[in-house]
Amino acid sequence: MKTYTYTDLSSQQKEELCLRQLADDHTITERVKSIIETVKAEGDKALFDYALAFDQVKLTQLFIDKTEIEAIAATIPEEAKEAIDTAYANIRAFHAAQLSKEAKVETMAGVSCWREARAIEKVGLYIPGGTAVLPSTFLMLGIPAVLSGCQQIIVCSPPQKDGKTNCYLAYCALLLGIEKIYLVGGAQAVAAMAFGTPTIPKVYKIFGPGNRYVTQAKQLVLASGITAIDMPAGPSEVLVIADETASPAFVAADLLAQAEHGTDSQAILVSTSSAMIEQTLAEIESQLKELPRKDIAAKAIANSYAVLVENTGQAMDFSNQYAPEHLILATENFEALTPLIINAGSVFLGNLTPESAGDYASGTNHTLPTSGFAKAYSGVSTDSFIKKITFQHINPAGLTAIGPTVEILAAAEGLQAHKNAITIRLKSTDGY
């Protein structure tokens, strides 16, 4: 991990340092385009073929139903069941609090305006699975979808070698009331939900993380106007701001927790103390040796860096420019820094709040903007699964009050029919 001194960096160097080095693999793009077109043309047949080619599973059907889900869920270890129950309760409580009804506003006498929420009718959730165990993602996407009132929630997850799903995802499905899990993974799952097949319904918006093929597929269906997606996605990232009150062992653990996601993950340390940076780097080397995914984490750490700043003001400036997916304020003085945060996906305050708590069970959502998109995007919430529709109602007094204003503006823009829509009503209500 290379160390930079903030005051030695030019504005351009800081900007370049904040850029994510995303690989532009033309081969992947073309492969994903081919998969999408094949699913569009061949439907279910393509999905069976891809399951055999990519997952090495010969499926007899593309989904498991409620009966199979219940049977698989029954095999979950008791301690895992209790952990999922706790995470479910916390995540549900946090997201339920986001649902609120907005008040009507009388913008002028007789003119009332307001907004009402309506759930997106059909949503698709992509849950990485197969040999992996990712119940947390299912909860993070499924809970706000259910709370928002989405009528149709389509869940796609790669099959295990037995052509089923794992007990953790099955148990989450039971909690969420999901009665079908479609055994489709990768870019082909995104294509199936975007276009629809005889088995898998078409959805209006696709959610969920995935590998580069899944990410590329989501971007392609969005760019072509086929369906909406939750947000642009890239490799996972964390930025830790640590001062002399931080624990080097804690900071190192947080950086490694992000680094073990993948070799392209970024783990950034920004500190007011050179001693803190040195001690954290030593802790990283020590802790790294004990990790099962040490080879992956080591490569990510090698591609990451530390920045030495003179004060926390500089640290916050750099953080806001970087716009991290996860921001950890490893300091006892976090309350003073919180108001300075402008760009971040999710923030973890103090020395006892690791990012992994938010990944699993504190309640906040772990589906967050990466690659600097925290400057413009929020993480997934109940808002992600609804639309806000505006309403207005005008009574006779309101028409008389607002009418002349609309007539003048419409005439100024040369839109006579717009003006007439007001004038004809004013005449009919004796507004003139």
Helix (H) or strand (E) holding 141: helix 135-148
Cα(102)–Cα(115) distance, rounded to whole angstroms? 6
Torsion sign, CA atoms 326, 331, 335, 340: negative
Domain with CATH 3.40.50.1980 in the chain: 2-21+234-363, 26-104+119-229
C-alpha to C-alpha distances, 73 to 134, 163, 167, 206, nearest whole angstrom: 14, 15, 5, 25
Position 279 scores a pLDDT of 98
Stretches where the chain sits below pLDDT 70 are 22-24, 130-133, 431-432
Residue 194, both tokens: 């975007």
List % helix, strand, coil for the chain (3-state, nearest 5): 50, 15, 35
Q: Which amino acids are annotated catalytic?
A: 325-326
CATH number of 26-104+119-229: 3.40.50.1980
Position 23 scores a pLDDT of 59
Position 130 scores a pLDDT of 62
Position 432 scores a pLDDT of 59
Do 245 and 332 contact (CB within 8 A), yes or no?
A: yes
Do 299 and 263 contact (CB within 8 A), yes or no?
A: yes
Residue 363, both tokens: 């309640």
Residue 43, both tokens: 């439907």
Helix (H) or strand (E) holding 335: helix 334-337
Position 155 scores a pLDDT of 98
Q: Which fold has domain 395-428?
A: 1.20.5
pTM of the model: 0.94
CATH class of the domain whose range is 2-21+234-363:
alpha beta
**Among 84, 85, 44, 189, which residue's Cα sits nearest to residue 130?**
189
Do 305 and 293 contact (CB within 8 A), yes or no?
A: no
Domain with CATH 1.20.5.1300 in the chain: 395-428
Do 256 and 294 contact (CB within 8 A), yes or no?
A: no
